[in-house]
Structure 1
Amino acid sequence: MLTKQTNTDLPLKPLLLIAPFFLWGTAMVAMKGVIPHTTPLFMAGMRLVPAGVLVLLFCLIQGRPQPKTWKAWLWIGLFALVDGALFQGFLAEGLVRTNAGLGSVMIDTQPLAVAILCLWLFNESIRFWGWLGLVIGVIGISAIGLPDQLILGWFNLLPAEQMVTSPILESGEWLMLLAALSMAVGTVLVRGVCRHCDPVVGTGWHMIIGGLPLFMLSGGWEADQWVNIDGGGWMAIAYSTIFGSAIAYGLFFYFASSGSLTSLSSLTFLTPIFALLFGNLFLGEVLTPLQSMGVGLTLVSIYLVNQRDILADKFKFGHSAAESIPSETTQPMEVSLPVKIPESEPKL
């Protein structure tokens, strides 16, 4: 069994913490133009298998130990099924059946599920300020991703003829919700993986094992997976695979192996912000006033989640009686996650 690695002494740690969400957001922009020219399951497989090979090559160069016990492979297999095959499969199929903004909102609700699972499984403190931040974050990404007409219609701020009346939860939205739940469970499972193997090695193997079934399903059900992809499309796929999967997943699950899962997962709210910023820069997409408000709310939510302990001590609000009693069963998994946003759904 490996001892848990620490990440408290990493250089440029704040930027490294934000990097996965920056890379996921920019990968969404890179993939936007190539999605109509390929098939969803093939794209999901391309996000995983080549990236997993790159991660394992990196581990080989670093001399990181490979899994040796059946328990390690069992955890990796479960991790691959949930966070690899199910998450990427639901995500890819959902993207072709739903509005991208609404799908992104549903994907980025997964920090709520992570917070509940961590509270239940690890007794990870959330407190009043953490819950408030998570709720504000969901409101913020809703303002970013949902159509303005839909939001204004809810508050009766539009004429009746301009209101959106289509149903919200159609098949695509349910697939995106299942993708969000799969990612949340996968984020929690990484703790079990890291008890038996190196977290980066486990991430690489879970990509390969989880991606192979997607390629098999694509070969059986889909056709013309790559014949319509041009040179620019392959460059977008390469960026999405190398940066949006290999590097992003490696960093995310490395930090998830020893830090606060609630705090780390809350940074997922940054993904649609980066997607919007770079969509504006490269694709000419313009932020509406509601989306700009959503960006502000999202940043407030991340601050509240990551500073919840400091805020509770400062305002003497948000403590519970149980928190003042030391407990040997409670593991101090919290780390401070300072957030510095570099100027610059789902989620592929």
Structure 2
Amino acid sequence: MLCAGVILVIFSLTRNNKDTFRIWRKPSDVIQLLLFAVLGMVSVQFTYFYSISLSNAATATVLQYIGPMFVVAFYAIKNRRWPIVSEYASLFLAMIGIFLLVTHGSFDQLAISEAALLWGILSALSLAFYTIQPVGLLRRFSPATVTGWGMLIGGLAFIPFSEPWKFQGSWDFEAFAAFGYIIMFGSVLSFYFFSKSLTRIEASTASLLCSVEPLAAAGVAVVWLGVYFGPMDWLGTVFILVTIILLTLGTKEKKATAQSSS
């Protein structure tokens, strides 16, 4: 997060020189930025990686992507409205998908540990908070500015807990290459590509395309890391992917209804 934050802040400076530091002028913006950095950025990173350590990359990624359901629930409560049909269907399919993923269809035992399930759900909640909380900031500042400062502050805040000066394991070329891959491809470039897509396609379409991530994570984990993913795991993954698609289509439906009524 420290390295990716520095890169994104520098990138923001090259694109939005005044905007980069303007975010620090108002106390209310600073508070929102700190909340995003600590409760959003740090929590979504830590819970996700810890969930992987307790299960595997495929399961952790699929569990994290039930986060949109919490986003829908939040706005339903905030706006005091009942969910539409597609959102009810999404909730039903998400529950089935989680059940298949964590039990393999058995009512007697879990296929993953209780801790892995707990941290997977916490990862989804963190993703929901990460999605909702910075909306106000993103309306006034560039995504590179908000995310860059969020990563940098979050990385600094986590130093007392991570103690990066205490190296563990063997820091050989492969370890540095893997670490660099996480920084550039897992943080910097993934953010840049997504933000770039928003200038060419609608946000709902971009979100729908991002739903391929759980499937990609499952496929890579099976092929590259040798993780076993049985029929019930794949079926649960498909159910959760359909959940994300239905939520995206539901968002389009609500926008169309609002525009026609206005």
TM-score (norm 1): 0.60
Secondary structure, aligned partner of 1:152? coil
Report the equivalent of 1:190: 134
**Contact 1:133 1:302 (C-alpha < 8 Å) held by counterparts:** yes
Report the equivalent of 1:55: 8
Q: Give 1:49's aligned amino acid.
A: L
The alpha carbon displacement at 1:304 in A equals: 2.4
The alpha carbon displacement at 1:267 in A equals: 6.2
Report the equivalent of 2:109: 164
The alpha carbon displacement at 1:75 in A equals: 1.8
Specify which structure has the higher proportion of helix: 2
> What is the root-mean-square deviation of aligned Cα atoms in Å?
3.8
Report the equivalent of 2:43: 86
Q: Name the CA shift for 1:219/1:308 in 2 (closer, same or farther; >3 Å).
A: closer
1:293 counterpart = 2:235: yes
Report the equivalent of 2:213: 271
**Contact 1:134 1:266 (C-alpha < 8 Å) held by counterparts:** no
Report the equivalent of 1:201: 145
Deviation by residue 1:123-164 (Cα, 9 ceiling, x = unmatched): 799521133134324533654x43xxx32322xxxxxxxx63
CA distance in structure 1 between the aligned counterparts of 2:142 and 2:81, rounded to whole angstroms = 23
CA distance in structure 1 between the aligned counterparts of 2:170 and 2:128, rounded to whole angstroms = 34
Structure 1, unaligned stretches of length 5 or more?
1-47, 155-162, 313-318, 328-348
Identical-pair percentage: 22
Residues 237-252 of structure 1 mapped to structure 2, 5 A cutoff = 237-250=179-192
Q: Give 1:218's aligned amino acid.
A: S
Of the two, which has the highest radius of gyration? 1
Q: Give 1:58's aligned amino acid.
A: F
Aligned residues: 254
Correspondent of 2:96 among 124, 128, 139: 139
CA distance in structure 1 between the aligned counterparts of 2:38 and 2:14, rounded to whole angstroms = 27
CA distance in structure 2 between the aligned counterparts of 1:264 and 1:122, rounded to whole angstroms = 24
The alpha carbon displacement at 1:74 in A equals: 2.3
Correspondent of 1:177 among 113, 121, 127: 121
Q: Give 2:48's aligned amino acid.
A: L
The alpha carbon displacement at 1:108 in A equals: 2.4
**Contact 1:104 1:272 (C-alpha < 8 Å) held by counterparts:** yes
Q: Give 2:11's aligned amino acid.
A: F
**Contact 1:53 1:208 (C-alpha < 8 Å) held by counterparts:** yes
Residues 22-37 of structure 1 mapped to structure 2, 5 A cutoff = none
